[in-house]
A and B are shown apart, each in its own frame.
Chain A
Amino acid sequence: MSSVESDPESTIRSTTTSSGLFARNATGLVRGVSQRSSFVINFIPGHPTQALAAGFFFVFALFPGGNYLVGLALTIPLILAIAYSFGLLTAMIPRSGGDYMIVSRVIHPLAGLISSFCMTLAGLLSNAFFGVAFVTLGIGPGLVSLGLLERSPGLINAGTTIQSNLGWRFGIGAAMMLLSAAFLIGGWRWSLRIQNTLFWIVTGGLILATVTALFTSHGSFVSSFNSFLRPFTHNANSYQEVLNRAAKAGVNLHPSFSVANSIPIVGFFATFSIYSYWSTFVAGELREASSVKTARNMALAGVACIAVVAAFAAVYFHAFGTSFMIAANGGGMPPQVSTAPTYFFLMSGAVGNLLFAILIIFSYIFFWPLICYISLLQPTRMMFAYAFDGILPEKVTSINRSGAPWMAIVISWVLSAATLLWGLNNASFFQILTYATLIQLIAMGLVSVCGIIVPWRRPELYRGSTSQRRFLGLPVVTIAGVGGVLTCVFVWVLFFHFSAQFGFADPGKFFGFAGVTIGLAVAYYLVARFIRSREGVNIALVYAEIPPE
């Protein structure tokens, strides 16, 4: 028999760490996602590019007198409540899988499945929205903008055609999703490199456009805009035409400040900005995930998005004119200009330089595959968590040479493409976004409930975590949870109260939609439990906590 003598040199050798710990020579765990990368992951869902190009200015035509600074300021508590609910719970349960992992462990596995079904459906609907937006807010308007700049009927026609043709919208949208899935298929090293590169391209394009706008006087913009559109409108003052058309259509171009109309704006801003918790889905791969940095990072990312939107919006309002932005987004654009008045369209016209236009248009277009990639993190990690828990075949966890869960990624792409097809045939552009938001709020509400109850429901997790701070005698995580629940209820109420403005034609239909989703989650749990029990596997054991005594 071979035997090993204990090596006298291989004994304890300790050191003192910078934080004051005594640590000994032992192997260490290094997780792959740095806090910096996690900040980027949390920032992207609320990236200012999306808000500024896809609806920010539109709401002022819907809610005249609503003040964007008031709206943005009121959105911050909502962001903080959700971010700290997710962040503190993620620090307690630093496992990949996000809401599923949190809710299944804190409340009940069935609740975890309901949450993740809602979250996944929201993710798929969001991907469908991103697919549509890639064409109708990205490539289409981009081609039209370049066509107008270059006076190329071919580009204008191409941009208009792909926006209106169902086949083109599906094909290009699905291809964009495939590209996003490809970002994930190469493993973290590959994914993070692409993620961070695209992030800086997108952010750089937005900064370039905004800084240029900052140094563009209002008079200069009006002059450039008129010159830009004159060949198409045959009007020497297209700027004034936009104002006149909107006023004629009943849009209030000089509304006085209205608190009542600032409140619904909060709901709209929330649809872009309360998702700064995305790193929760990769918590098991996050460095220092157990520290309070996880929550701070989420909160900081959310607030940073809002702050940038506020600052950049102020620049655009200054350069383009507040009344003009309300008018242009309220239907005042000349019919000869078949594109939305996005910041990149307006700035392309204002600068009149092809290279500049290409830079800001393509940097904007890249945003959509980037956010779709971020969105795909959720179902892929959730499927991984499902498979580890035994409620999905282990085959789903198959990883390629790069460590990427290729099967889960492929399934996510197929489901996203199918949802896009459904969305194009059955729902309006904003209806998809509204459904996605409302269904996601169910999951976020369940996580917030976890925040409320975790100190009592999982006291050992709470006591062992960094999340034990109290305010007015109450655990901060509980306060954040209460805030999270109120946030979800508030946004829900806003959407239903202003259903027409949010493109929500039949609110009753949504309850059926949500009911089916929850019913499917319950059915899935029962079927999975039944099938696994036939194999001698009790999936209840996966979630069950062994009593320590």
Chain B
Amino acid sequence: MRVGILRKRDPNASGTATSIFYASDVHGSDRCWRKFLGAASFYKVDTLIMGGDLTGKAMVPITQEADGIYTARFIGERRRVSSDEQLSQLKDAIRFNGMYPWVASPDEVQRHRDDDVARDQLFETVILDDLRGWVALADKKAAASGVDVYAIAGNDDPWTCDAVLEASQRVRPCEDRLVEVGGHEMIACSLVNPTPWNSPREMDEQRLYDHLRGLAEQVSDPSRAIFMFHAPPYDSGLDTAREVNPEDLTVVMRNGQPNEIPVGSKAARQIIEEFQPLLALHGHIHESRGITTIGRTTCINPGSDYVSGRIHGALVKLSDHNVTMRQLVIG
């Protein structure tokens, strides 16, 4: 008999195991989305869960000049390319950083600079077209591998994204509903407590609590359930960020230094404390990657660094009533 560290622990020892790869906040990074879909075979898991914030935050206009030269300002540098191959590389670099390339004539670029409505519409068109491409790719890959894929949008995703997810054949949308993941009930919510950015999906704490409670009460056995809330629980160590002045979006300084504060959701925390699910999956605060526990609940925020082209994720194995393995990875 082997003891201590030499004793082999069987992750499947206490019943049927469910293996999950969880990631969040890919923000338009085509590479991270492809890696997310490839994670099932790579990590040998049977379930993929995406915790929201699928869409990119910025678009890089690439101006097509009359002489066939393309110019763009990108990550603080002015890029100037001429050949199709160079243009393709520039677009890839922009996509790699989670932004959308948009090629247009100087007049078109200027018109969209000046016209807020036209620019908003352009954003929506580009985002949804891109997301449709992602969903089609997911349908194709999931059909081939048989893996289960679950996804919600996040607070930064326009509401119109939900319809794209709903239209998928293989990606199971789970926003605001009870779904089953490997024999475990799961509820999910993309809403977050208010942010200084006034992003598309925000709700005040009291309404958010009522909303989450309504969802949680549908769960028959919370001790075996998964709660996927895009917002991390307040003051959990998974929600530390710099305080931002809501008026001008500048960092709040205290004694000459940025002030760090917990920015998660009190409602999410209260629901976790009251219902004590087996697992709580979060995202939203990219820089607060980690794993913690609230009572018996294992809470995970895999963080995000989508501009590096590496997907931050968490591997989790669940038995009937236990989290038998959890590991943060960067794929």
Taking Cβ atoms with an 8 Å cutoff, the residues of A that contact B are 1-4, 6-7, 10-17, 19-32, 34, 92-95, 187-189, 192-193, 196, 284-285, 288, 290-293, 388, 390, 394, 397, 399, 402-403, 460-461, 463-466, 468, 531, 534-537, 541-549
Report the minimum CB–CB distance from A469 to chain B (whole Å): 9
Q: Which of A4, A32, A288, A394 contacts B191 (CB 8 A)?
A: A4
Q: Give chain B residues whose Cβ lies under 8 Å from the Cβ of A15.
A: 116
Complex Cα distance, B85 from A515, in Å, reads 47
Q: Which of B38, B43, B159, B176 contacts A549 (CB 8 A)?
A: B38
* B73–A290 touching, CB < 8 Å: no
Q: Does B136 contact A (CB under 8 A)?
A: no
Report the minimum CB–CB distance from A157 to chain B (whole Å): 41
**10 A-B pairs with the lowest CB-CB distances in the bound complex, closest first:** A2-B214, A464-B96, A6-B159, A546-B331, A536-B11, A26-B156, A22-B59, A30-B242, A546-B35, A548-B34
Q: Give chain B residues whose Cβ lies under 8 Å from the Cβ of A93.
A: 308
Q: Give chain B residues whose Cβ lies under 8 Å from the Cβ of A12.
A: 120, 123-124, 127, 158, 200
Q: Give chain A residues whose Cβ lies under 8 Å from the Cβ of B170.
A: none
B180-199 CB mask vs A (1 if < 8 Å, else 0) is: 00000000000100010111
B210-226 CB mask vs A (1 if < 8 Å, else 0) is: 11011100100000000
Q: Does B97 contact A (CB under 8 A)?
A: yes
Complex Cα distance, B240 from A92, in Å, reads 24
* B327–A390 touching, CB < 8 Å: yes
Q: Give chain B residues whose Cβ lies under 8 Å from the Cβ of A20.
A: 60-61, 72-73
Q: Does B49 contact A (CB under 8 A)?
A: no
Are A21 and B99 also in contact (CB < 8 A) when A11-B158, A291-B75, A546-B311 are?
A: yes
Across the A-B interface, how many residue pairs have beta carbons closer than 8 Å? 221
* A394–B258 touching, CB < 8 Å: no
Are A547 and B119 also in contact (CB < 8 A) when A30-B241, A460-B309 are?
A: no
Complex Cα distance, B76 from A466, in Å, reads 8
* A11–B159 touching, CB < 8 Å: yes
Are A19 and B76 also in contact (CB < 8 A) when A95-B308, A542-B330, A547-B38 are?
A: yes
Are A193 and B256 also in contact (CB < 8 A) when A10-B200, A542-B329 are?
A: yes
Report the minimum CB–CB distance from B185 to chain A (whole Å): 14
Complex Cα distance, B251 from A32, in Å, reads 9
Q: Does B305 contact A (CB under 8 A)?
A: yes
* A14–B116 touching, CB < 8 Å: yes
Complex Cα distance, B324 from A68, in Å, reads 62
Q: Give chain B residues whose Cβ lies under 8 Å from the Cβ of A464.
A: 92-93, 96-97, 307, 309
13 A-B pairs in the complex with CB atoms less than 8 angstroms apart: A1-B215, A7-B159, A12-B158, A16-B113, A22-B61, A24-B58, A24-B120, A25-B200, A34-B258, A546-B43, A546-B331, A547-B38, A548-B35
New A-B pairs, 11, CB < 8 Å, besides A464-B96, A466-B77, A536-B325: A27-B155, A29-B286, A92-B308, A285-B287, A291-B76, A388-B289, A460-B309, A535-B9, A542-B328, A545-B310, A548-B31
* A284–B287 touching, CB < 8 Å: yes
Report the minimum CB–CB distance from B282 to chain A (whole Å): 14
* A3–B176 touching, CB < 8 Å: yes
Q: Does B139 contact A (CB under 8 A)?
A: no
Report the minimum CB–CB distance from B223 to chain A (whole Å): 21
B306-323 CB mask vs A (1 if < 8 Å, else 0) is: 011111000101000000
Complex Cα distance, B177 from A4, in Å, reads 11
Complex Cα distance, B59 from A534, in Å, reads 46
Q: Give chain A residues whose Cβ lies under 8 Å from the Cβ of B97.
A: 290, 464
Are A536 and B324 also in contact (CB < 8 A) when A26-B199, A464-B97 are?
A: yes
Q: Does B83 contact A (CB under 8 A)?
A: no
B88-111 CB mask vs A (1 if < 8 Å, else 0) is: 010011001101001000000000
Q: Give chain B residues whose Cβ lies under 8 Å from the Cβ of A13.
A: 116, 120
Q: Which of A30, A95, A397 contacts B244 (CB 8 A)?
A: A30
Are A2 and B31 also in contact (CB < 8 A) when A16-B113, A30-B244, A290-B75 are?
A: no
* A14–B159 touching, CB < 8 Å: no
Report the minimum CB–CB distance from B196 to chain A (whole Å): 8
**Chain A binding surface, main DSSP class:** loop
Complex Cα distance, B309 from A545, in Å, reads 10
Q: Which of A10, A30, A546 contacts B201 (CB 8 A)?
A: A10
Q: Which of B39, B177, B199, B215 contacts A546 (CB 8 A)?
A: B39
Report the minimum CB–CB distance from A539 to chain B (whole Å): 8
Q: Which of B35, B156, B218 contacts A27 (CB 8 A)?
A: B156
Report the minimum CB–CB distance from B40 to chain A (whole Å): 10
* B34–A4 touching, CB < 8 Å: no
* B324–A26 touching, CB < 8 Å: no
* B291–A394 touching, CB < 8 Å: yes
Residue of A nearest to B250 (CB): A30
Complex Cα distance, B325 from A1, in Å, reads 32
Among B60, B93, B195, B308, residue most surrounded by chain A Cβ atoms (within 10 Å): B308
Q: Which of B73, B244, B329 contacts A19 (CB 8 A)?
A: B73
Which residues of chain B from 282 to 316 have a CB within 8 Å of any chain A CB?
284, 286-287, 289-291, 305, 307-311, 315
Are A388 and B159 also in contact (CB < 8 A) when A27-B197, A466-B77, A549-B34 are?
A: no
Residue of A nearest to B59 (CB): A22
Q: Does B249 contact A (CB under 8 A)?
A: yes
Q: Give chain A residues whose Cβ lies under 8 Å from the Cβ of B16.
A: none
Q: Give chain B residues whose Cβ lies under 8 Å from the Cβ of A284.
A: 287, 305
Q: Give chain A residues whose Cβ lies under 8 Å from the Cβ of B242.
A: 30-32
Residue of A nearest to B237 (CB): A399
Residue of B nearest to A32 (CB): B258
Are A95 and B211 also in contact (CB < 8 A) when A13-B120, A188-B260, A545-B331 are?
A: no
B240-259 CB mask vs A (1 if < 8 Å, else 0) is: 11101000010100111111
Report the minimum CB–CB distance from A541 to chain B (whole Å): 5
Q: Give chain B residues whose Cβ lies under 8 Å from the Cβ of A192.
A: 256-257
Complex Cα distance, B236 from A173, in Å, reads 37
* B327–A542 touching, CB < 8 Å: yes
* A24–B31 touching, CB < 8 Å: no
Q: Which of A4, A32, A531 contacts B260 (CB 8 A)?
A: A32
Residue of A nearest to B198 (CB): A25
Q: Give chain A residues whose Cβ lies under 8 Å from the Cβ of B122.
A: 22
Q: Give chain B residues whose Cβ lies under 8 Å from the Cβ of A290.
A: 75, 97, 307
